[in-house]
Amino acid sequence: MAEINKNGQIIPIDPRTALLLLLLVTIAVFSQHSFYVEIATLLVIFGLFLYGGLAESGLKFVLQFGFLLLLQYAIFPVAPKLFTDTFSILAAYARKVLPCAMMGAFLVKRIPMRYIVLAMRKWRFPQKLIIPLSVTIRYFPAIREEMGYIRDAMKLRRISGAARIEAYIVPLMFSAANTAEELGAAAVTRGIENPAPKTSVIELRLCPRDYVLIGCGIVLAAAAFHLR
């Protein structure tokens, strides 16, 4: 079963497997023309969710997919024209990217960022790319949080129109610039500029389950090209 690390986090699969699977699912989703491949992709990822102990969130994605199918095949043909016009492209697009979004959600929920950094290091990504990329991914939740605070502050002061946009952007930039200063100082203190190769307490090892998953991904991507 899934491994549990010292911090009590469940790490169901090797981060490299998860990243490869994301890539393969993306290839499969965007080159498939067959409904069966679409369903198979979804089921493989759903299986992965069950294995990683994320049954509830996996079920939510499957239900969303079902809802989109219902919308496209049962509701759009009979709905008013305006409704269909507005939502048809969104529904088609959402259905298309749903497996990728699901795989992405799995990564976010089950693979901690340090494992992803480690995977990139194993693949010999340059350090100059790993650092900003990991900062970018870690900063997304901070942006969301910041936006919430700004919204609360704005409620107190009745700001409207174009001033609202300014009132969002300016504090966001201030906090970003300050975070960059502080994080930069902290990272330099902790030796980010040390040219010696980085070491890690975590050891990555590919297990049979990783090979099985990568195999599934390759089969799906190959099937996407050949089945019509």
Partner 1 sequence: MTAIQVNISRKLKGKDLITIGIFSAIYFVFNFIFMLVSGFHPVLWILMPGLIALFTGVPYMIMASKVQKPGAIFLMGFITGLIYFATGMFTVIILITFALACVLAEAVRYLTKYKSFAGNMVSFAVFSVGMIGSPLPVWLFKDSFFDQISEQGMSTEYLSSLNALANNTILVVMILAPAVLAIAGALIARALFKKHFEKAGIVKTWQR
Interface residues with partner 1 (CB under 8 A)? Answer: 19, 22-23, 25-26, 29-30, 33, 72, 76, 81, 84-86, 88-93, 95-97, 100-101, 104, 128-129, 131-137, 139-140, 142-143, 166, 169-170, 172-174, 176-181, 183-185, 187-188, 192-193
Nearer to partner 1, 5 or 141 (CB): 141
H or E element, residue 4: strand 3-4
Q: Does residue 207 contact residue 14 with C-beta atoms inside 8 Å?
A: yes
User: Of 53 and 109, which CB lies nearer to partner 1 in the complex structure?
Assistant: 109
Q: What is the DSSP letter of 5?
A: -
- The residues near 21 (Cβ < 8 Å, ≥ 6 apart) are 48, 103, 213, 214, 217
CB of 92 to partner 1, least distance (A): 5
We find the least distance from the C-beta atom of residue 208 to partner 1, in angstroms, to be 25
**Which of 43, 186 has the CB closer to partner 1?**
186
Residue 82 to residue 207: CA distance in whole angstroms: 52
**Cβ-based nearer residue to partner 1, 8 or 80:** 80
Which C-beta is closer to partner 1: that of 133 or that of 223? 133
Q: 102: closest CA among 52, 152, 154? A: 52
Closer residue to partner 1 in complex, CB, 6/81: 81
- Least separation in angstroms between residue 30's CB and partner 1 is 6
- ∠ CA 18-91-21, rounded to 5°: 10
CB of 79 to partner 1, least distance (A): 10
3-4 vs 10-11, strand pairing mode: antiparallel
Amino acid at 224: A
Find the shortest distance in angstroms from Cβ 188 to partner 1: 5
In angstroms, give the least distance from the CB of 157 to partner 1. 16
Distance CA 206, CA 211 (A): 7
Within a 10 A sphere around the Cβ of 92, how many other Cβ atoms? 13
